[in-house]
Structure 1
Amino acid sequence: MDAQQLAALDDGAYEVVAKNNAHPPTRDPETWAALTHPTNINRTREAYTAMLARTAATIKHHKVERDAFRLECFARGEAGKREWFASRPEYEDWRRRAGNFHQTMQKALADVGRAQKNINRSANHRVAQDHRERLRELAQAIARHQAAHARSGGVAEQCDYELWRLLDQLTVPVGPMNEPATLRTMLDFYWTDVEPVTAQQAAEDQAEAVMRQAPAGRAARFSGMPRARHVDNGKRLA
């Protein structure tokens, strides 16, 4: 039974399938996959939760009845006590079976919880991969913007330096230890195809490196300090 076929069942039939596949040794792998499919997993959780609640209520109700029956039997003297003790094996057998069923439902519900965590982890991974891809596109756009300035030979503004600096400030986790790597490192080693470097590209890269090494990351028009010079035959400073 696949997920779509399972979803089409009414609540009663669905609960029967869930119950028959609650115990791991007797589970049908295909049916369990359908029960824990993102489409059905919430309904499966509800089915096991309902069965647990009913079983717990039944066990409690039988215990109350059993206690009342004991008082009634003991009130009738020896004959009542004999009846009480004679009924114990049947009750204890029922209680054992009910307890085992209750534990099986609890374990099945725990397995559903683990399956839900795997679904969430997979979904989060897909979201993280999508965000990483968007970040890669952004880093490449910034790098192209910086390279275009280098090729044109124009004077970069402070806002340009602030933008380019993001490549050296923002990091993403890399490797099994999730070590941080800057966006520029990612572009150099992971996100950019390696191509032979021509003489022109080497010159452009050198110009780009020079721009990145501007003092404190400031544009040339904002860098430097005013300098005094002598005027009027060296008697005054301007």
Structure 2
Amino acid sequence: MLLRLPTSLPEAQECLAEGAIPVGGATLVWAAWQRDGFPEQSVSLREVPEANVLDAGAVGAAVLLHRIDERVPEVLRRAASGIGTGAVRRTATVGGNIVGSTLRCLLPAALVLDARARVLAAEGPFETDLAELLAKKPLLLSLHWDEPLVSGYHKGAEAPGGPPPLVVATAVDAGARPLLRIAVRDGYDFLDESVPCEPDARSVLDALSGTAIGALPAGAREAVREQVTSVLERAAER
């Protein structure tokens, strides 16, 4: 297998046009390739500057998970720090986790940040939303968002051999009429909702109870209640 390492978007675009398969950090695809056969050529974005951005409003697809730090919102930082082992986080990438993984541990954080995706196709780069990114799986270059007022993250205990642990991600945006955004991973299912912020957490929880969030199992609903109450209290202190 030929691994191609472009250093610019035009070079990466050329690789895609010639049929190279995106490889990310290879933590997920390597075992499948060993089982099913290796492609003739693959492409990594680790040398492409646009895929390595890391600041308060953006993270590149080629950024290794262990590099995600205080420059990004709390919800994204805590999500990244809880993925796998230290060895995995030093190899796995943002793009591989969101696009290439069924667990998508970073997806709830991206959803509550209302993140936008910068992607690359054979025709060139363009911006899209997370729904299209997950449905069509173009090559992710980076995620971009507006800094939230506050955010929070909860990950439940993981049972060996069991389903993925419950994840509850929350954020309050910093707009003139702020919204509470919430995303839940329940097993392999993802739910996300947004409701207007109110001074009383009970009113926000009542609004969420009329959405798909309200149909979650009791344990998940209790985690939602705790996380919503906490993030609203912190937002009120700002």
TM-score over 0.5 for the alignment? no
Q: TM-score, normalised by structure 2?
A: 0.22
Q: Which has the higher helix share?
A: 1
Q: TM-score, normalised by structure 1?
A: 0.22
Q: Which has the higher strand share?
A: 2
| Pair member with larger Rg | 1
